[in-house]
Amino acid sequence: MLTPALAGCGLVRNLGSSAVTLTITRDFGATQLGSVKLAHVAGSETLLGVLERSFSVRVAGNTVEAIGGGRATPGARWFLFVNGSASGIGPPAKRTVLHAGDRIWWDLHVDTATQNVPTVVGSFPEPFIHGVGGKRLPVTLECGSDVTTACNRAAAALTAVGVPAARQLLGTGSGTSTLAMVVGTWSELEGEIAALLLEQGPATGGVYARFAGHDDHTLELLDPDGRVVRRLGAGAGLIAATGNTKSVPTWFVTGTDVAGVSAAASALTAGRLRNHLAVAVQGTTDLPLPQP
């Protein structure tokens, strides 16, 4: 476990506070190396600056090589997420100014299947509280047919963290400046534009899972190399997010069937999603992605 170099920084436990949270993990969040909450951050503080004053860091040129005891190696590198969205590690990390409430997550993992993980769910309830780039965004909840229970659970999860969400029908479209959570079976959602990114696998959407089989009733879970290591059938759910550099992230609460969507919606809590890129759900069992 890393020992933060910053002492006496103060802890802020309330959701929606102005505290900045900095978390260091490795192997897709499987091992936490260190975490610190900074109650006060100067308005000019950058991503790299707050990292360097909190942990021992080695930087070579525009590359972060080591944070504490975690060191990049051939085939494994540091990935940086701010409020769940990918952020550049080179010059952007040196220039990007922090905002109140930001959740910063550095994870060291292999990049065999992809070097592009645009959005993750492991910083929930972000980005719904503080948004992206310091801008809080309006939130919409798009729900498919026959998933009323799941939709209500998703709405309750957002309400619990103080986020109002406008409900609308699936496919209505939320706009490019709106943060959308889409709830429904995968057979309903696969026509969504953002779903095309997820459907193309980790190399494009950054999600280590995909739906397959007749009528998409099989959820395939992938390992860090992008290989299928487990297949789930009836009652399987998935919470994942994806996007690209030009769009606001889209969150998916989906599954192979209605039961799977409900199971996924029940997992919309900070405790169950923390430090995971995405999470598959079978009943009450959480399966972080990628799978070992």
User: Check: CATH 3.40.50.300 for 20-110?
Assistant: no
Distance CA 24, CA 231 (A): 30
Find where tokens 């590690």 sit: 89
pLDDT digits (tens, 9 = 90+) for 57-100: 999 887 899 998 899 999 999 999 999 999 866 555 666 777 88
Terminal Cα-to-Cα distance of the chain (whole angstroms): 22
Closest CA to 50 of 89, 98, 85: 98
Where does CATH 3.30.379 sit in the chain? 139-289
Interval 196-211 mean pLDDT: 91
Start-end of CATH 2.170.130.30 domains in the chain: 20-110
Pick the CATH number of 139-289 from 3.40.50, 2.60.40, 3.30.379, 1.10.150: 3.30.379
The C-alpha torsion from 272 through 287 and 227 to 234, rounded to 10°, is: -120
Q: Give 276's contacts (C-beta < 8 A, 6+ positions apart).
A: 28, 29, 120, 121, 122, 288, 289
**Would you say 170 and 180 are in contact if contact means Cβ atoms under 8 Å apart?**
no
3-class DSSP assignment, residue 34: strand
Better-predicted residue by pLDDT, 116 or 239? 239
CB atoms within 10 A of CB 169: 10
pLDDT tens-digit profile of 8-44? 222 223 344 578 899 999 999 999 999 999 887 766 7
Distances 113 to 73, 202, 205, 206, 227 between C-alpha atoms, Å: 16, 6, 11, 9, 9
**pTM for this model (two decimals):** 0.89
- 177 burial (CB, 10 Å; 0-12 / 13-18 / 19+) is exposed
Positive or negative, the Cα torsion across 215, 218, 219, 225? negative
